[in-house]
Structure 1
Amino acid sequence: MIIIPTFLLFSLLIIPFHHSHYFERLILTNCEVFYSFNSTLLQDCELSRRGPEMAYAAVLSLMQVLQQLMGGHVRFIRYEKQQLESFQEKVSFLHDFLENHSTSTSIEVKDLEKEIRDTAYRAEDIIESYGSTCILYYRTNRRLRYLNFCKDLDRVIKEMQSIQEKVAKVKRMLDLKYVQQKNYLPINGPRLTFSDKKPHMVGLVEDTTKIKDWLTSSSSRREIISIVGMGGIGKTTFARNLFDDSLIVYHFHVRAWVTVSQEYQMHEILLGLLDSMDKLNPDMRKVSSGELAERLYKNLKGRVYLIVMDDVWDSKVWDDIKRFFPDDNNGSRIVLTTRLKNVGDLAASTGCLHEMSFLSSSESWNLFREKAFRGEFCSPRLEGIGQEIIRNCRGLPLSIVVIAGLLSMDKTVGYWETIATALNSILAADGGQCSTIFSLSYNHLPAHLKPCFLYFAIFPEDCVIRRSKLIKLWIAEGFIKPNKSKSLEHIAEECLEDLLNRSLIMVLKLGHRSKVKTYRIHDLLRDFSITQVKKEKFLHVINRHTPSHPKGRRNERRVCIQPLTPFKFSKYICNSNGPPFPTRSLLFYHQDGDIIITERSFGLLRVLDMESGVRLLEFPMELVRLVHLRYLSLSCFRAIVPASISLIWGLQTLVIDIWHLDVLLCHLPPQVWLMPHLRHVQIRSIDCHLPDPPNSGVEGKKFVTLAKLQTLSRIRNFRFTDEIIKRIPKLKKLRVVYDVRSKDWSQFHLGNIVCLNELESLHIESYSKIAFPPNFKFPAALKKLTLKGCYLRSEDLAMVGSLPNLEVLKLHNDAYEGQVWEPNEGEFCELKFLKLSWLGLLHWRADDSHFPKLKCLMIRWCFNLKEIPIEIGNISTLELIELDDASLPAIASAKLILDEQRSMGNDVLQVRMKSNWHKDLPRYSKIR
């Protein structure tokens, strides 16, 4: 089975004709499947496009296909250049129209959107289908295929011409109407740069005091506290603010948070708890639930702990997991949040059930003003309109923050009056509340944000959504419009920021550089997005509630298989019998069983994500025939990637997770260096062997620059030769592992690392116990540096300290060989996060001038360290010192730092301590 990215479909064009036999050896003999591919596919697609669809996303995707076609080596597609340019102009015209009228409610516009969408998809299918046949069946019936392609494309171009004429008439009408109106809704105003990184809570002062008293009371019994309330009333935000409160942090040895959700799995709950406690490593994800439960119990035993189980739907969850929480009669607490009062009643200890109430009028206004104005002035006129709007929210926090996010985009009286009128009209029509406000906010999203928001429906309920993965998927789907002055990743970051500012998504976790790592979407907003994707046929979500074998399911362009879905459903979706599918994206979450993806069924696939559940024995050879693939993520027992993967020339992201612990290596072929569209190559859980690139000029091999490659992880014994450095000029994130058996670093040319001018994150790990070569330098652009087992000398560490942009530094496992560390003045001027672990450090001599912007200091398993420099406490930005199994003198110095800072009125600094080996120590966490 093979998926071919659109750009890949033209990649073969640069292969000389006399090398065509190479491809014939790789293709199947049943090429007759593709002879009828176009017509069958187009007939099937018609069945699936009867409802409204995302016309903007369809046209943007087609634009990218045409750009790749026009800018590539057009060897097989010999269509007249003039006609293609004319077609491209028509598509660009329609794109501009949709972008500027995405919020229009005009019936004429809606009808045109359907026509535009259908025609755009037909054109895309024709071009990509023909490209697939050209690449895979190069010598078979070429002239007949080309004539059919020209005929089909001519028909679509004529349809596009007709639509363009209709659009021009409607556009003139709308433009005239907008000029005549005093107030109208802005479509693409200036981007706002603010965003809330942490959940904000307004009011609930008495409620907070009451729960704090329950949590910190003198009762030594282990008590369970239930927080009950309807969806959107703020249970999670309320619990999160309690969880992070300084008094609560002070009181408990261990805190852990896990979101349970309606369709829970005990294995995932246990993983979530261990991860929250920072006791999870990648290997543990592969062990049984019993082993995870035992590890959880041992990590909680004897400690005063706080566990928050968020969004519990079934009392059975508590019955199943409560035995894993030791009851040592030491004042531990467990908090459950739930929408169901009977669940809260069954779990809660006597007198420990709290029901959330709606916000009062004043609290509602305060929350609205905080979200809509962010501290700016609110005019009396806007306040009057705002008060009218929030009355319709009826004290429900989620409704308030979503409507505030919409109104924050434009603080003009006309815009607010228009929204107020629309809200009153919709509420009068259907009487709904949350869904009405969500619909209003969604309908007024700019065109480029609508598909980005709807894409959140692919993630399971309460899923932790990784920013990096979401951005890669958006780019692969074609949702991100290219901009010459910005990278696609940067544009996608801006889209995420816009959705966050509109309160449609929430930050879950920040990284060490205050950059968002993970997001989540509220259950009610996720439910709305699922309803919307069904309505617009944008995405088909399959779960255990999906009717068996519904008609038309094969015709969806995007399919997501959710957790707990019966295997028979997945087997039906992936069944290769029958006509080919127009599916562009196929995503699996926690799916068991053997899944077969073939070229016959999924020849146009762009996104294949099987990493989150489908465990394969090895890399499937069929995948190299999916020549349109842009995003490929797999979980394999072992992975020897074939050389023919270079057929997928348009591949942007390759992620392989090795799930068996006994496998030592993943093997990538040297042909990876011939794939110019690669952006991210990530090998997880294991080291990866990547040979040097083929020699330029040998056997017809050309020098290929991977100008888009940004991520390379994690490569074993990587060689930084001059040629390799020239091939990866835009690399931003690199993780390498070394096992230098010959004790000779020269073979790896490490000195050339400094030539990677755009490298921002570098992780170097050495198993060799050999000091790095002298006079070694890192690139000046580095923002994050992790070193493990590198045995740096004091002069090396001084060189690290001189890096002008370094914000995060982690030194592990003898990364520094010295026993004394004394930074020089002016070093580490931008460092915000410092982590030292398993170092033989005895003396650390430093003051507040050495780390002027440090926010977090973590010291783990540095058993010989005599003290933490007292002057470190004087760093004005320092917020946290965390010690894990530190020496007694280091613990004493940390307490001294805290006492001194408290005496000076510093209530911001926290000191946290964990210990597994000092059995005689008191509750050190009490000194936070």
Structure 2
Amino acid sequence: MADSAVSFVVEQLYQLLREEGNLLKGLGNDFSDIKHELESIKAFLKDADRRAGDEGGEGDTHEGIKTWVKQLREISFCIEDVIDEYIMDVAYRANHHPPCIASLQKIAHQIKSLKSRHRIASNIQDIKSAVQGIKERSERYKFQSTFEDGSLNSSKGAKDFKWDDPRMASHFIEETEVVGFELPRDELIGCLIKGTDQLSLISVVGMGGLGKSTLAKHVFDNQNVKRHFYCRSFITVSQSYTVRELLTEMVQKFCKDANEPIPKGLHNMDDQTLVTELRQYLQSKRYLVLFDDVWKENFSDEIEHALPKNKKGSRIIITTRNMHVAEYFKKSVVVHVHKLQHLSPDKAWELFCKKAFRFEPSEQCPTELEDMSKEIVQKCKGLPLAIVCMGGLLATKEKSILEWRKVCQNLRMELERNTHLNSLKWILSLSYDDLPHNLKSCMLYFGVYPEDYSISRKRLTRQWMAEGFIKNEERRPMEDVAEEYLTQLISRSLVQVSRVGFDGKVKSCQVHDLLRDIIIRKMNELSFCHLMREDDELDTVEKTRRFSIASCSKNVLRETSNSGIRAIYVFKKSELPEDFVGSLSAKFKLLKVLDFESTMLNSVPNNLGNLFHLRYLNLSHTKVKILPRSVGKLLNLETLDLRQTQVQVLPREIKNLTKLRLLPVYYRKYEGQYSMLNFTTGVKMQKGIGCLKSLQKLYFLEADHGGLELMQELKMLKQLRKLGIRRVKTEYADALSSAIGEMNHLESLNVSAKDQDEIIDLKFLSTPTSLLVLNLKARVTKFPDWIPKLKYLVKLRLGLSNLEGYPLDSLKDLPSLLRLNMWDNAYIGEILHFKRGGFPRLKELDLTRLSRLNSISIDEGALLGLEHFRFKDNPQMKVVPHGLKHLKNLQFLGFADMPAELVESIDPEKDGQDYSVIKHIPLVLIRQNVGPKFHDYELRAIPTLATV
């Protein structure tokens, strides 16, 4: 991770020299010298980081390397501080020279500026000397350059396991010790011995410690599998291998399994002859090869030509932590991916008892230890290796509550020090160590959040962007690049998806608790972030870049002398001190990230404008009502998150934030009765919104504050990807249409009328074809003819539209539509007819408050992909749609505040005559409001055959 710190600083120096060259005034050569020195050191950093982190390193050399890496990381921090202080000083001078400034003030400012420049120049000289000293000391350690021939990854052969390598254990587990793999074992055996004659691949994918190798080995050794294949070969791949060694070992093992002689001169064959020999041997045989622990994404390319596609029903098995490894094979063979799941609670308990009480009668847990044991198993979160290691550790302990509680309460310390848990720590660390440096920084962010915290994808990726972790690609929005980074972490089985949206996109995610413990250890080693506690004495905390505050005393930030903090995240739920934000704004002037989401923050002080470098400010779900005018000084701000705050007016100075890209601001009134037009309130903006030309997301604006002038200014926001605008009047429609027509990148549009009588007809010279999401809550004179042309539209919500006739005919052929909501008299007819072949990809359908609707007809062959169907408060609909029985993929059916006749007709306890229509659906819920508030309701499930 010194590699990450140095790479980041070199990039900053490059940007500084390129963009601010005309402002450097004599310091440019010094910055350039430092950049060149760091670039020459950077070539050795991967080797230095590896040797510093090697647990087996010994002696003074190992400690010296660790000290060298630490010094390099700290000097990188110093360089970053000097750069940011210098840029802030330049910006201050550029913005504080009004033409009529009083002469005394001008003289005072010049003196201050000279002192500042002298201090910065002095710091730069110290840094140059320090970097030179670090470079000279590096020579004694003979680091290997990443540019030299023979990269580190090819230094060992495929069979180069150490005797104490924890991965070897999975190859020798007895059948009786395997727990919880019965179903996946049978599934994989079926894939091997049944199905196509084509060569196909079975991939077992999952995080480290999940038991992939154990499962694959037991499938490989199954007697039915052995009899089915003429010859088999089990190959351990791991991170370090050569293809030649893999192929040679395959030949040897195939021959041994088939009791045939090994070809003469095998080890002396050239590469082409070796591949030919292997192909000829396998050409007429049904073979099975298991590649265990594959890391390299393009591994398929390296072994493809050696394995003939002989139509004999041959099979390849791979185990991997990386989904992309499995997916890469799809270009050459049929692929079946098995995502190995964590153990269920009962299987986790069974495995724990087998390990912890293996010498006890019947492997039973003593009654007095049962509660404590279940708490320990819960901490393992279904990870088999963790359960095995914890069970093994506790098997050596005295069977007493006190002894076991020590282990339970100090699990992170045990993971750090206890030799019984070395294999767990090592295997979990492998995936992190294999990451490229930019993803390592992103991965460490998961340690910032509290344990068991489900992390919003948007919040996380926006923080990465603000920190500078995301590479800026000119032709791609930075959000897309950040989401790609997250996808890579998920595909590597490091990050678990908590919640997925209707469109398949990740909504929230988290990491396994034990992996989080590994991350926190790395964070501490790398000075990445300090997790604050009540008893912290910050004067003893080493230099760190970030504070994560889940609990702390009121004056904790006053005690630290570390002014180089770049990010502060507050997760504390109790009341914050009144001057909390004011004190940190005064002390930590280099902050880039400030996150108060869902805290008890009441107000923002005037000195917020001190934070010149601030890029990300999250005040969402706080009690903040007013933003200070000084927010206009945050010239580098990119994200201002005001969701679910009661900020109703943005100060005029907001127009100065020309780098602002994301501005979500609204308040939803969950405390009252629902009203489509008044449930959400937006924000009023003063004149000048057109200056925010970098804006990509803006929602929700109050259109009637600014009117036609506001519509004209919206035309200037050509980078908008998401726009939400409320309280639109009829007379604004043409101007709003014209403004939207200028937004060529617009993907999400949300338009609400001021009241139900306003008619909003949006008319475009050309269809906004890039739209993915459309929310239109307003009356229209006729169905908008441009909506059926939106071939990428995935979500459509219509409300108050008063459509007549056959609106579904216009919508049924939308090729990408996944979700359709028709609310609040969007349709005022009596019958909706879903025709055969219509809505081919629709997954979710919601029909709410359609006051005249009394009948729904669903043809067989319509809505083939529908999974969720909801009805709410449709008072005339008293008969359940009989066409529901055609919807074989339907997983959820919901009725909220529907007529009693309909509900009783599907209730088997009341002998409902239409129960047969819904009995195939796994989940059928009846919801009834019981109070005036949004969340005042009761739920009741209808039992179905699918549920049973």
TM, length-normalised to structure 1: 0.62
Q: Give 1:175 shift.
A: 5.2
Q: Give 1:132 shift.
A: 3.8
SS at match of 1:463: coil
Listed as ranges, the gaps of 5+ residues in structure 2 are 55-61, 97-108, 159-178, 187-206, 223-228, 242-291, 304-317, 322-384, 390-415, 668-680, 908-914, 922-948
Deviation string 1:35-89 (CA, Å, 9 cap, x unpaired) is xxxxxxxxxxxxxxxxxxx323323442454345334456764244444344444
Aligned counterpart, 1:870:
858
Q: Give 1:679 shift.
A: 1.8
Q: Give 1:183 shift.
A: 4.4
Give the Cα separation in 2 of the matches to 1:62 and 1:368. Answer: 52
Give the Cα separation in 1 of the matches to 2:11 and 2:664. Answer: 25
* 1:481 maps to 2:471: yes
Whether the aligned pair in 2 keeps the contact of 1:720 and 1:748 (CA below 8 Å) is no
Whether the aligned pair in 2 keeps the contact of 1:821 and 1:845 (CA below 8 Å) is no
Task: Write out aligned runs for 1:137-286 (5 A).
Answer: 139=109, 140-161=111-132, 163=134, 170=142, 176=148, 178=150, 182-183=154-155, 203=181, 205=183
The verdict on how the C-alpha distance between 1:368 and 1:619 changes in structure 2, with shifts beyond 3 A counting, is farther
Which residue among 111, 114, 135 is the counterpart of 2:70? Answer: 114
Give the Cα separation in 1 of the matches to 2:235 and 2:851. Answer: 59
Give the Cα separation in 2 of the matches to 1:207 and 1:885. Answer: 48
The verdict on how the C-alpha distance between 1:582 and 1:879 changes in structure 2, with shifts beyond 3 A counting, is same
Whether the aligned pair in 2 keeps the contact of 1:405 and 1:501 (CA below 8 Å) is no
Whether the aligned pair in 2 keeps the contact of 1:912 and 1:927 (CA below 8 Å) is no
Q: Give 1:848 shift.
A: 4.2
Aligned counterpart, 1:918:
899
Which residue among 629, 648, 663 is the counterpart of 2:614? Answer: 629
* 1:667 maps to 2:667: no
Aligned counterpart, 1:259:
none
Deviation string 1:108-127 (CA, Å, 9 cap, x unpaired) is 87555323312211111122
Which residue among 126, 130, 148 is the counterpart of 2:82? Answer: 126
* 1:690 maps to 2:688: no
Deviation string 1:415-461 (CA, Å, 9 cap, x unpaired) is x9999xxx99x999765343221112222222111111111012222
SS at match of 2:31: helix
Give the Cα separation in 2 of the matches to 1:880 and 1:888. Answer: 22
Q: Give 1:472 shift.
A: 0.3
Give the Cα separation in 2 of the matches to 1:890 and 1:802. Answer: 35
Whether the aligned pair in 2 keeps the contact of 1:202 and 1:367 (CA below 8 Å) is no
The verdict on how the C-alpha distance between 1:83 and 1:781 changes in structure 2, with shifts beyond 3 A counting, is same
* 1:731 maps to 2:720: yes
Give the Cα separation in 1 of the matches to 2:657 and 2:768. Answer: 25
Which residue among 709, 713, 736 is the counterpart of 2:699? Answer: 713
Task: Write out aligned runs for 1:591-630 (5 A).
Answer: 591-595=573-577, 596-597=580-581, 598=583, 599-616=585-602, 618-630=603-615
Q: Give 1:580 shift.
A: 5.6
Task: Write out aligned runs for 1:25-64 (5 A).
Answer: 54-64=1-11
SS at match of 1:604: coil
Give the Cα separation in 1 of the matches to 2:430 and 2:597. Answer: 35
The verdict on how the C-alpha distance between 1:75 and 1:146 changes in structure 2, with shifts beyond 3 A counting, is farther
Root-mean-square deviation over aligned CA pairs: 4.4
% identity of equivalent residues:
23
Give the Cα separation in 2 of the matches to 1:583 and 1:174. Answer: 31
The code of the aligned residue for 1:619 comes to: V
Ranked by relative contact order (alpha carbons within 8 Å, sequence separation 6 or more), the top structure is: 1
Aligned counterpart, 1:447:
437
Q: Give 1:610 shift.
A: 1.0
The verdict on how the C-alpha distance between 1:658 and 1:488 changes in structure 2, with shifts beyond 3 A counting, is closer
Give the Cα separation in 2 of the matches to 1:561 and 1:368. Answer: 51
The code of the aligned residue for 2:128 comes to: I
Q: Give 1:759 shift.
A: 0.9
Q: Give 1:96 shift.
A: 6.1
The verdict on how the C-alpha distance between 1:83 and 1:582 changes in structure 2, with shifts beyond 3 A counting, is closer
Deviation string 1:463-501 (CA, Å, 9 cap, x unpaired) is 221111100001112222333343332221121111111
Deviation string 1:232-288 (CA, Å, 9 cap, x unpaired) is 999xxxxxxxxxxxxxxxxxxxxxxxxxxxxxxxxxxxxxxxxxxxxxxxxxxxxxx
Give the Cα separation in 1 of the matches to 2:496 and 2:221. Answer: 16
Aligned counterpart, 1:861:
849
Give the Cα separation in 2 of the matches to 1:770 and 1:130. Answer: 57
The code of the aligned residue for 2:612 comes to: V
Q: How many residues align?
A: 656
Aligned counterpart, 1:782:
771
Listed as ranges, the gaps of 5+ residues in structure 1 are 1-53, 187-200, 209-230, 235-357, 370-376, 390-402, 695-702, 902-906
SS at match of 1:512: coil
The code of the aligned residue for 2:569 comes to: L
Whether the aligned pair in 1 keeps the contact of 2:834 and 2:862 (CA below 8 Å) is no
Q: Give 1:542 shift.
A: 2.2
Q: Could you say which structure has the larger radius of gyration?
A: 2
Give the Cα separation in 1 of the matches to 2:879 and 2:741. Answer: 38
SS at match of 1:586: strand
Give the Cα separation in 2 of the matches to 1:641 and 1:891. Answer: 52
Give the Cα separation in 2 of the matches to 1:432 and 1:78. Answer: 54
Give the Cα separation in 2 of the matches to 1:120 and 1:734. Answer: 40
Give the Cα separation in 1 of the matches to 2:21 and 2:133. Answer: 27
Whether the aligned pair in 1 keeps the contact of 2:756 and 2:779 (CA below 8 Å) is yes
Give the Cα separation in 2 of the matches to 1:626 and 1:461. Answer: 29
The code of the aligned residue for 2:69 comes to: E
The code of the aligned residue for 2:839 comes to: F
Give the Cα separation in 2 of the matches to 1:500 and 1:471. Answer: 13
Which residue among 457, 472, 484 is the counterpart of 2:447? Answer: 457
The verdict on how the C-alpha distance between 1:916 and 1:688 changes in structure 2, with shifts beyond 3 A counting, is same
The code of the aligned residue for 1:915 comes to: A
SS at match of 2:465: helix
The code of the aligned residue for 1:768 comes to: D
Deviation string 1:648-691 (CA, Å, 9 cap, x unpaired) is 111111112455xxx5x522133323322212111131411112
Aligned counterpart, 2:731:
744
SS at match of 1:504: coil
* 1:520 maps to 2:517: no
Aligned counterpart, 1:335:
none
Whether the aligned pair in 2 keeps the contact of 1:588 and 1:614 (CA below 8 Å) is no
The verdict on how the C-alpha distance between 1:97 and 1:604 changes in structure 2, with shifts beyond 3 A counting, is same
Deviation string 1:837-887 (CA, Å, 9 cap, x unpaired) is 222432334424542322222223334323334137534433333333445
Which residue among 884, 888, 909 is the counterpart of 2:890? Answer: 909
Give the Cα separation in 2 of the matches to 1:763 and 1:538. Answer: 40
Task: Write out aligned runs for 1:269-348 (5 A).
Answer: none
The code of the aligned residue for 1:561 comes to: I
Task: Write out aligned runs for 1:787-802 (5 A).
Answer: 787-788=776-777, 790-796=778-784, 798-802=785-789
Whether the aligned pair in 2 keeps the contact of 1:911 and 1:927 (CA below 8 Å) is no
The verdict on how the C-alpha distance between 1:493 and 1:746 changes in structure 2, with shifts beyond 3 A counting, is closer
The verdict on how the C-alpha distance between 1:655 and 1:93 changes in structure 2, with shifts beyond 3 A counting, is farther
Give the Cα separation in 2 of the matches to 1:578 and 1:492. Answer: 32
* 1:589 maps to 2:571: yes
Whether the aligned pair in 2 keeps the contact of 1:829 and 1:850 (CA below 8 Å) is no
SS at match of 2:9: helix
Give the Cα separation in 2 of the matches to 1:608 and 1:180. Answer: 39
Q: Give 1:589 shift.
A: 0.9
The verdict on how the C-alpha distance between 1:478 and 1:174 changes in structure 2, with shifts beyond 3 A counting, is closer
Whether the aligned pair in 1 keeps the contact of 2:721 and 2:745 (CA below 8 Å) is yes
TM, length-normalised to structure 2: 0.61
Give the Cα separation in 2 of the matches to 1:158 and 1:368. Answer: 62
The verdict on how the C-alpha distance between 1:655 and 1:500 changes in structure 2, with shifts beyond 3 A counting, is same
Q: Give 1:537 shift.
A: 2.3
SS at match of 1:494: helix
Aligned counterpart, 1:837:
823
Give the Cα separation in 1 of the matches to 2:572 and 2:605. Answer: 19
